[in-house]
């Protein structure tokens, strides 16, 4: 799977893809993360990528031409894209279902907004999906892009050491995950539930399902209302 991230500040993405699960997925050849410096497609001697917005107002806007030229270059090398995603606060709220769906794609472009965003014509004519990672604003789309890639990549077969781990994460079945414990089984007289040490798989699974439901009802009852 190929991720193509278009960014005005690509150095912000150096660390997320250099460690842990994402690095292992890249090293195994199961995924590729290509980060494109938008300024390489900038205009004129100074490689301009942003300009003042029509109609006035504070804040600069990423220009249409550099983004379009970058998209064309990516398509020329990799072919048509399954999705061209723009990360924006007014996009659809991201969830596990979207991550599951996107994990089936082969090529995805992620456009990172910056300043006041991008020229609307890119959104109108090239973007296929707009995504928000939450009801708040951050300085640019780079951190959001890292979150998006991480959530998708861990679903690619072979990226995680235990392929079943991602399938038991929170939200996969519209429930939060149940409590988890590890050794020692007693610490400061706080003990691990006996059922988890019983070796009885059916009882353990039933306990986990019950606790997952209780956890969801207590912390995210809205998830149950959506069922």
Tokens of 170: 């929170």
Average pLDDT over residues 58-85: 97
**pLDDT of res. 225:** 77
CATH class of 170-225: mainly alpha
pLDDT tens digits, 192-206: 999 999 999 999 999
Q: What is the largest CA-CA distance in the chain?
A: 70
| CATH code linked to domain 2-153 | 3.40.1280.10
Is pLDDT of 162 > 70?
Answer: no
pLDDT attached to residue 170: 60
Q: Is the per-residue pLDDT at 227 higher than 60? A: no
- Do residues 147 and 133 lie in contact, with contact meaning Cβ atoms separated by under 8 Å? yes
At residue 99, the 3 state secondary structure works out as helix
Contact, 92 vs 64, CB < 8 A? no
Burial class (CB in 10 A: 0-12, 13-18, 19+), 49: buried
What global pTM score does this model have?
A: 0.88
- Res 95 pLDDT > 80: yes
- Asked if residue 91 lies in contact with residue 143, where contact means CB atoms within 8 angstroms, the answer is no
Mean pLDDT computed over 71-96: 96
* pLDDT at residue 131 is higher than 70: yes
pLDDT at 168: 60
Give the Cα separation of 138 and 121 in Å (integer). 22
The pLDDT value given to residue 106: 98
In 3D space, the residue among 23, 33, 13 whose CA is nearest the CA of residue 112 turns out to be 13
Region 127-141 average pLDDT: 95
d(CA 189, CA 191): 6
Give me the mean pLDDT over the 25-29 stretch.
96
pLDDT greater than 90 at residue 154:
yes
Please state, in angstroms and rounded to a whole number, the distance separating the CA atoms of residues 216 and 36: 40
pLDDT at 174: 81
* Interval 136-156 mean pLDDT: 95
146 pLDDT above the threshold of 80: yes
Q: How far apart are CA 20 and CA 217, in angstroms?
A: 32
Reading phi first (left if > 0) and then psi (alpha if -120 to 50, else beta), residue 84 is in beta
The answer on pLDDT for 226 being more than 60 is: no
What gap in Å lies between CA 8 and CA 4, rounded to an integer?
13
**213 three-state secondary structure:** helix
pLDDT band at residue 166 using 50, 70 and 90 as cut-offs: low
Structural domain spans, the chain: 2-153, 170-225
Q: Please give the DSSP secondary-structure letter assigned to residue 178.
A: P
Reference 212, options 181, 186, 167, 174; nearest CA is: 174
pLDDT tens, residue by residue, 169-186: 666 678 898 999 999 999
What one-character DSSP code corresponds to residue 16? T
Percent of the chain exceeding pLDDT 70 equals: 94
Give residues with Cβ within 8 angstroms of 200, minimum separation 6.
Answer: none
């Amino acid at each position: 799977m190929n991720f193509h991230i278009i960014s005005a500040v690509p150095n912000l993405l150096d660390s997320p893809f250099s460690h842990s699960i994402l690095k292992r997925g890249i090293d195994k050849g199961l995924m590729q993360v290509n980060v494109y410096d938008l300024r390489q497609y900038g205009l004129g001697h100074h490689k301009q990528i942003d300009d003042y917005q029509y109609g006035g107002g504070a804040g600069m806007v990423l220009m249409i031409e550099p983004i379009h030229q970058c998209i064309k270059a990516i398509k020329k090398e990799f072919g048509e894209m399954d999705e061209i995603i723009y990360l924006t606060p007014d996009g659809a709220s991201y969830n596990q279902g979207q991550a599951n769906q996107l994990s089936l794609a082969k090529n995805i472009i992620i456009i990172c907004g910056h300043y006041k965003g991008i020229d609307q014509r890119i959104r109108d004519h090239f973007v296929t999906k707009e995504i928000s990672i939450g009801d708040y604003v951050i300085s640019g789309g780079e951190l959001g892009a890292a979150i998006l890639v991480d959530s998708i990549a861990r679903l690619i077969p072979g990226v995680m050491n235990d392929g079943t781990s991602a399938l038991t994460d929170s939200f996969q079945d519209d429930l939060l995950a149940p409590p988890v414990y590890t050794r020692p089984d007693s610490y400061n007289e706080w003990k691990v539930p006996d059922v988890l040490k019983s070796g009885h798989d059916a009882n353990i699974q039933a306990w986990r399902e019950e606790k997952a439901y209780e956890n969801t009802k207590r912390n995210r009852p809205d998830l149950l209302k959506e069922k």
